[in-house]
Amino acid sequence: MLKNKWRLVAVAAASVLIVAGCSAPGDGEGAPEGEPTAATEQADAQADADQDGAGPNTDDIPDPVAEVNGTEITKDEFVTVLQGQYQQMTMQAQMTGQPVDEDQLKAQTLEGLVGSELLRQEAVERGLEVSDAEINTALAGFAEANQASEDEFFAAMGEQGLDRDAVMEQIEKQLLVDKLIVDEYGEFSATDQEIEAAYEQLVQQQAMSGGQAGGGLPPLEQVRGEVEQQLVAEQQAQAMQTLSEELREDADVTEHL
C-alpha cells in the first residue's frame, strides 16, 4: 500500500521533494486498520534515533549554507530538513542494509532547498499569493491526512525543530509553489491506463518482495483515488524539478557547503 510520510515543503532539484515533515493532504488516505500511521512511524523512528544517538554530523555546516539571488539559506533551515531526511533514509537503510551516505544526503538537501527558494522567488515575481484561509485549509488537510489533530501535528513538527510560525511559513511556501506549477504547466491528471499500470507495478513489487501477487493489496477500485493522487504527485514533482533547473540557469546561487 501507499504509505503516509510526514513531509513538509522543500522542492529538490535532484530528488524533487526533500522529506522534512508531513505528507500532503490525500497521501495515503484510508490506511488499513492496524497499519502504522504516519504519526506512529515517525515517532518510532525518532525514538530509535534518540535511543541510538543516531543523526547526521552537522558540526561542519556553515551559516549560511547558500545564497540564492541574495536570499540566505540558513544553517538552521538546512539542518532541520537534513535531520528529517536522515530519519527517512535511516528507515530505508534498515530495510536494505545499505548505510546512509551523509555527504550525498547533504548535497541533495542543499540542492532541494536551493530549488525550493528559486521556485518561491519565481512565484512571488509572478504576483502569485496565498491567503490565510488557504493556509488554514491546507493545515487542516495535513493534520487529517496524518490522522492527527492540528495540535498533534504541530507537536510532531516541533520535535523536528519547526515551531508553529515555521510550519505555517513552510505551508505557505508549498502552496505558492503549487500555484506556480499550475501557472506554468496547468493542472495534471492521470489516465485510466496509467492508473492501471501503476497498480500492476505495485502488485509486482509486492510479489518480488516475497508476498503473493496482489496479496494484501485491496482491489484497484478501492485504491484508485490513492494511485491517481500518487501519479499526479509524481508529475508535479517532475515539473518542479524541471522548472527549478531552468530557473537556476539564470540565477545567482552561491553554495558554501
Amino acid at the residue 68: V
Per-residue cell: 242: 524541471
Q: Which CATH class is domain 38-255?
A: mainly alpha
Distance separating the N- and C-terminal Cα atoms of the chain: 37
Residue range 164-194, pLDDT digits in tens? 998 899 899 999 999 999 999 999 999 999 9
Determine the Cα–Cα distance for residues 45 and 54; give it in Å rounded to an integer. 10
pTM: 0.75
Mean pLDDT of 229-246: 93
Q: Does residue 2 surpass a pLDDT of 60? A: no
* The predicted structure's pLDDT at residue 212: 53
Per-residue cell: 11: 522542492
* The predicted structure's pLDDT at residue 238: 93
Residue range 64-102, pLDDT digits in tens? 999 999 999 999 989 988 888 888 888 878 877 888 889
List of residues 6+ apart from 236 with CB closer than 8 A: 178, 181, 188
Determine the Cα–Cα distance for residues 114 and 160; give it in Å rounded to an integer. 20
CB atoms within 10 A of CB 221: 8
* The predicted structure's pLDDT at residue 215: 56
Q: Which helix (H) or strand (E) holds 133?
A: helix 132-145
Sequence spans of domains, the chain: 38-255
Please give the mean pLDDT across all residues of the chain.
79
